Each structure stands twice: as structure tokens, then as C-alpha cells.
Amino acid sequence: MSILAVAELKGDSLKKISRELTSAGRKLGGPVVALLINGTDAHANELFDAGADTVVKASLGEYSPQGVANIVAAVAAEKGAKVVLAPHSIQGKDYAGRVAIAMNASLVADIIEVKGSDSAVEVKKPIYSGKAYANIKLSAPAVLTVRPNSQEVVSGYAGAKALETTSAGEGAVSSKLANVEMSGGTKVALTDASIIVSGGRGIKGPEAWPMLQELADTLGGALGASRAAVDAGWIDHGHQVGQTGKTVSPNCYIACGISGAIQHLAGMGSSKYIVAINKDPDAPIFKVATYGVVDDLFKVVPALTGEFKKVLG
């Protein structure tokens, strides 16, 4: 049996979560088969480097969750894969349930750890808005969606590196994507970013965003926001982090003027390091922060930006 990792593209680039999945598949013993839909040989080489033994290329015209699910289930059957790893992304959440139904498999979403074998899998996932974690044991077949930035990418894998093409297509599809309306979004996708600078009610107004954006740009990160800032109309919903926004797991999350309500913590509590900047020493964010700065963010953020520019050039 094998592990099937479903890759995902953004534009012409392979998303980092795709390489995370192939590396995570190695923890289950492998062999690891990566499914690459509408990708290139260059994308395939990235997957080989991160742990794939075989990359199966497939073609799909217009995106539809049903079409992707049909391809994934067909390739899983072709390769004898009993465990499917998919990104916990908008698309991954869209088709994972359909794949589980087609495979008569268990489904666990938003996992942050995976281990075991292809027949007995153990996973860990946040529950109760991130206030606790569930450790789940399940037997194959299983479909798992993995939170971006939760898995280490191990490069340099020297496997068989077999590149194949499947004839599996979208099959019978009853609905298709009609239209996509793109918002301005962030310069770096929030769910993929390794560093996020977020602002909350404490930034006092939309005129403060350029200050936070400059810090994010200096660090090569993304700009986030709390629900309070979004509800106030200071920034669009595409930046919102939290229970009603995006769930992120960056290496570093810098919270500026964010009190730390449980709804916000649910979206960023699994960050590796949390830096909180807030004038209120009793703000709940300090209870989860790795580092805390009790001071005026309008003094601290520009000072941080200046120092990082000196260090990073």
C-alpha cells in the first residue's frame, strides 16, 4: 500500500503545503505517491525532493470539487493508496469529503501531526477553538486534511522518482465553478506565510496599516487582522485571522494591538512563536505569547522595522 499526497498550485507555483504533505507521507512509511493536477515537470521535481517516490500527473479543465475528488479517488485506487493527505485549504476542504465518500474512508480535518503506518494512523488536531488537542487513532482507509505550515519539509530525498501520467479524468460532474471574485488579498498568502503581522482594535484606525505592512514586507511576511479591525471597516475580510476568518500556523505571529479574544486565538494559537505588542499588561494575548512588549505599538513597530532593516539589509 502507498500514501497519496495531493499537491496544490497557486498560479504557476507549487504551494508549500504540497511539499509538506510529501514529507509527512514519509512518516507513515511510504511509498509516497504525489498527485499533481495541471502541474509541470518542475513542480514534480519539487515533490520528489520533498519525499515523493512517484509523481502522477493529471489534467483537469475547469475546477470543480467533484472533478478533483473523482481524480483523487481514481488515482488512489490505481496506486493502492489507503491514506490520502490533502491540504487543509479552501480547495482541500471542498473535495476531501467527496474523496472520503468515494473511498468509504474515515475523514479527519485540520490535523497538525501525523504518524504511524499506512494501516494504522495517529493524528493530532486542535479542538474547542484551539483550547485543546485531540489525539486520534484510526485505521485505513483514511482521508486527512493537513494544516499549512504544520509539517516540516525535509529536502534532499533520493527515491525512485518515477514520473507518470494518469488517464483518470473528472468523470461525471453535476456542478462547476461559475466565477471567481478576487479581493485585494495580501501580498503573501496568509495561510502560507511563515511570518504574519496582525493588527487589532489597538491600531486605532485604517491609517496604521501602512506601518504594519512595512514591517510585514521587511520580514517577507503577510498582513493579518483581528475581527474587530475587519468589523470596523478598516481592512477587508481576506486579512481576518480567527474562528470566523483564516486559520494560520506561521513560525512567528506578531500581534499588534490585539487583545487576544478566544475567537482570535482559535485562528493563530498553533503559531510556533507569538509576539504580542499591547499597552494593556492584562490583555489575554500575553497568556499565550512567547514574547510580550507592554508599550505603545506606534513606538514599538517602527523601531522593530528599523532594526530589522539594519539586520536584513
Say if residue 37 carries a ligand binding annotation: no
Dist CA 51 CA 53 (whole Å) = 7
Dist CA 302 CA 212 (whole Å) = 9
Say if residue 119 carries a ligand binding annotation: no
Strand 9-10 to strand 13-14: parallel, antiparallel, or no bridges (unpaired)? antiparallel
Strand 81-87 to strand 142-146: parallel, antiparallel, or no bridges (unpaired)? parallel
Q: What domains, with CATH codes, occur in the chain?
A: 2-165 (3.40.50.620), 190-312 (3.40.50.1220)
Say if residue 259 carries a ligand binding annotation: yes
Dist CA 303 CA 309 (whole Å) = 10
Say if residue 271 carries a ligand binding annotation: no
Say if residue 242 carries a ligand binding annotation: yes
Q: In terms of residues, how long is the chain? A: 313
pLDDT value at residue 177: 75
Say if residue 166 carries a ligand binding annotation: no
pLDDT value at residue 185: 54
pLDDT value at residue 298: 96
Say if residue 262 carries a ligand binding annotation: yes
Say if residue 151 carries a ligand binding annotation: no
Say if residue 227 carries a ligand binding annotation: yes
Encode the chain (313 residues) as per-residue pLDDT tens digits.
Answer: 789 999 999 888 999 999 999 999 999 987 999 999 999 999 999 999 999 999 999 999 888 999 999 999 999 999 999 999 999 998 999 999 999 999 999 999 999 999 987 678 999 998 887 788 999 999 889 999 999 989 999 999 988 889 999 998 888 888 777 777 665 555 677 888 999 999 999 999 999 999 999 999 999 999 999 999 999 999 999 899 998 888 898 999 999 999 999 889 988 988 999 999 999 999 999 999 999 999 999 999 999 999 999 998 7
pLDDT value at residue 132: 87
Say if residue 263 carries a ligand binding annotation: yes
pLDDT value at residue 29: 84
Say if residue 278 carries a ligand binding annotation: yes
Cell, residue 285: 494575548
Pair 74, 114: CB distance under 8 Å: no
